[in-house]
Chains A and B, each alone.
Chain A
């Protein structure tokens, strides 16, 4: 038992708990600017969800991760795919997208499923470095990603890509193909941005029409890219959210305005519909300043690096890949969420892990870190 306590990754656990508590505090703070009672009390629900998630966390960490992968990952993956199909068929339409099935978002559930599935497939002892293996891995990514894209939820679909690609890279799956393909993808992304830039700055409507005939981007996606490329062009239209996010964060200065005293959220400049979800970092940075924002970044640093420590200590590929996949997903969320609110990336609707209000994502995250804890606790047992 004492040995278990020593093997328990306290850094990951405590930083995770700290981030969740911070989440509860700032969901409460963002809720104070709202007039609807259910939103004012959203923090209670977040806290209750976190407690439920912690039960799941300890339950999963109690079991050997190998068993979880062997027995659980395939059914979990299949159920996720079924749920993703179901949400397209029966989901509630909210803000023009079908993302909700009853009380949860299947796309969040599916994120972990893909990671576990890929970890199981490529963590096997036999070699997995053929082109067919690569196709297998990409197929596991593409099936749920395309279903999520159909909701449509571009952000969630895209955020899976780096996690799975990093797992495939680490598992050295057919690197001779994977690396050139990755390079090509990066080039293509750059080319798309450049094309949008040309299309939006040209004075020739024909050029614009030609470019968009070959670029199947929806108008709101074009608008976001346009805003990202030139945020000053339209400060009251597409640039509004970014401008307000930057004013929130910037006016927080070094030490902030005090928890619960954020002017931007109270005055409604920070759009209330997103202040406790995708833009909660703005509330946090305004109220606690650079100091608070740095503390949060440091906690994420501890969470991610201590998680990687677990991966490093883990003697098998399955454990390492699982941990790497989960941590890369979390890192992608953190990076994209914060970067978009300071204009380093286009505005994308991605939550900040543990802090943004979002019950499904929180439960999935706690479950995922339960599995990381399981890797930490059970790494020396016989497989």
Chain B
């Protein structure tokens, strides 16, 4: 025979070896390396999806809600329901048709933005995530959908958080607004899928305390098929990979503010119809009781996205409603700066009793600084100069002390630096910008020259004078109960009687016979203040009041500016009176 038994046995050995090799290799793949392949499967067959936490509320000092998250209801489309074999475009068309049919059945308009390109892009990038069809539906529309939902498989209602500002324009500059943005805390290499962009603070406290309010987004792993769709039918029923929570979402915290809602409302009322700002501080610790800027805006316009048209309107408005004048508006302080000059005079060794004859104008070389009283106010000492806001007197003080002493004192009050309030944006302003020139000290002494201050800095100045020399950092976030009272960042390096002398002068402004700010007074308590009327380019005036009350033991310090007013005493004093009267009441005649 040609075919020997040995060749058959050799063939048997070959077969056996071949099968044994396969078994060995299979053992390697299925037993030794099993973890790697299981990991590969989990990696390719699941996607991480972001589940945001609920953003915290913003509350005023009395618990009133300034910003919160509400449940917004959307009709969404599960794309896998419409999955067609073949090209992706087939599925896109199926989804597109289904949306049109549903729109017809409900009598809704198809959202214009939901083009086939949008659907196609969504399908290519995150087909496992539901597609938002109609956003933010009211109860009637939802009821109409629920009646017909059974005949439209693949569509359902989902609730998602949306920001709402229940009081609209109230404290709008403080609260700020949110927009939508990509999450920032994604540290993974792979970007997570998400139903929509993350809610993110864009302005005001929403931005400043964004991390505090936002919480931490959670992540779930959802199974997907090879085309990135959610498995359905037999696939969903038979696979072991389920939706699982990888990291729980943490809700954001509520932000409680120091803002007194009643005071804030009065302050905003006093600013209606003008451009200006007002800040009220508690001089005992620096807590911001009210802070407003006018004109203002409605943060609800920014939810969930501000329309390009609305944003253009707001940003191109010559009145700059988006600017928070209280912290980022720069003004010349005018005569409200004079208490600083007055204190600096003590440092310069000037005797406050020394009299100076006001002739209505102060001359230095070619420079003329006029008093508000063209005819001159006659001889006066420091006390009366404060009371009657005498420009020549203070210009002469500036000349005598020079800029160094004046600005050193101003810096003690915190000018030329940000106050450090827990809010952005804040500007630091400036005391002087080069070049220096003769007469700068005289102009600066009366709050003109190159001085640039924010209303918030003026409120700090006022509070510092009110509490006898302690400079506090203003703050908006309410201190936790039982936490120690805040320490002042600085204490003025002046004697108590020197500060008291200036305070006394300020009381005369309100309560003296010739006081320029008598319109502030008429309260049940004794009050002190200072008017200011700053000349600005073009002949206009920015008008000021700083005031604190009660005189003996102040609980509030206010600074208010109104752009293009007549004078501090006429334009602003009645408004500040109204604010203080809401707290202390009118004096009964």
Contact = CB atoms under 8 A, between A and B. Distances in A.
Interface string A333-349: 01100110010100000
Contacts of A327: 11, 15
Contacts of B374: none
A301 B188 CA distance: 49
A169 B301 CA distance: 88
Contacts of B7: 169-170
B227 interface: yes
Given A33-B235, A263-B241, A301-B16, A253 B34 contact: yes
Interface stretch (B218-226, B248-256, B534-542): B218-226
B41 A251 contact: yes
Contacts of A250: 29-30, 33-34, 36-38, 40
Given A266-B235, A327-B15, A290 B225 contact: no
A14 interface: no
B27 A290 contact: yes
Interface string B249-293: 000000000000000000000000000000000000000000000
A27 interface: no
Contacts of A170: 2-4, 7-8, 11
Interface string A170-212: 1110000000000000000000000000000000000000000
Contacts of A324: 3, 8, 11
Contacts of B85: 35
A16 interface: no
Interface string A216-257: 000000000000000000000000000100110111111001
Interface stretch (B17-25, B117-125, B348-356): B17-25
Contact of A267 (B18, B29, B239): B239
B238 interface: yes
Contacts of A253: 30-31, 34, 38
Contacts of A266: 225, 231, 234-235, 238-239
A166 B41 contact: no
A321 B34 CA distance: 42
A283 B227 CA distance: 19
Interface stretch (A58-66, A85-93, A135-143, A292-300): A292-300
A171 B14 CA distance: 17
Contacts of A328: 11
Contacts of A294: 23, 26
A171 B226 CA distance: 51
A85 B372 CA distance: 116
26 contacts: A33-B234, A169-B7, A170-B4, A170-B8, A243-B40, A247-B41, A249-B30, A249-B37, A250-B36, A257-B240, A266-B235, A267-B226, A267-B239, A268-B227, A290-B30, A297-B22, A304-B12, A304-B19, A308-B11, A311-B3, A312-B8, A335-B22, A338-B26, A339-B25, A342-B25, A344-B25
Q: Size range of the interface on A?
A: 35 or more
A285 interface: yes
Contact of B44 (A247, A249, A260, A308): A247
B34 A305 contact: no
A249 B32 CA distance: 12
Interface of B: 1-5, 7-9, 11-12, 14-16, 18-19, 21-23, 25-27, 29-31, 33-34, 36-38, 40-41, 44-45, 85, 223-227, 231, 234-235, 238-241
Contacts of B11: 166, 170, 308, 324, 327-328
A4 to B, nearest CB: 23
A32 B231 CA distance: 13
Contacts of A252: 30
A261 interface: yes
Given A35-B85, A266-B235, A289-B30, A304 B37 contact: no
A305 B26 contact: no
B20 to A, nearest CB: 9
A269 B8 contact: no
Contacts of A269: 44-45, 225-226
A345 to B, nearest CB: 11
B239 A261 contact: yes
Interface string A296-324: 01001100110010011001110011001
B243 to A, nearest CB: 14
A261 B240 contact: yes
A321 B225 contact: no
A305 B234 contact: no
B550 to A, nearest CB: 75
B127 to A, nearest CB: 13
A317 B239 contact: no
Which 10 A-B residue pairings sit nearest by Cβ, starting from the closest?
A250-B37, A268-B226, A266-B235, A290-B30, A267-B225, A320-B3, A253-B34, A251-B41, A170-B7, A269-B226
Contacts of B41: 247, 251, 263-264
Nearest to A308: B12
A53 to B, nearest CB: 23
A251 B26 contact: no
Interface in A76-110: none
A299 to B, nearest CB: 10
Contacts of B238: 32, 260-261, 266
Contacts of B45: 263, 267, 269
A128 interface: yes
Nearest to B40: A247
Interface string A265-283: 0111100000000000000
A141 to B, nearest CB: 18
A35 B4 CA distance: 53
Nearest to B42: A251
Contact of B26 (A263, A312, A342): A342
A267 B223 contact: yes
B30 A293 contact: yes
A311 B8 contact: yes
A293 B26 contact: yes
A369 interface: no
A331 interface: yes
A305 B9 CA distance: 9
A289 B3 CA distance: 39
A267 B30 contact: no
B226 A305 contact: no
Contacts of B29: 246, 249-250, 342
Contacts of A339: 22, 25
B466 to A, nearest CB: 71
B2, B44, B85 — which one has the most chain A CB atoms within 10 A of its CB?
Answer: B2
Contacts of A57: none
B27 A301 contact: no
A122 interface: yes
B3 A308 contact: no
B183 to A, nearest CB: 27
Contact of A305 (B1, B16, B30, B33): B16
A294 B20 CA distance: 10
B3 to A, nearest CB: 4
A354 B66 CA distance: 73
A246 B235 contact: no
A348 to B, nearest CB: 15
Contacts of B231: 266-267
Nearest to A337: B22
Nearest to B43: A247
A334 B5 CA distance: 24
Nearest to A255: B30
Given A247-B37, A267-B223, A308 B15 contact: yes
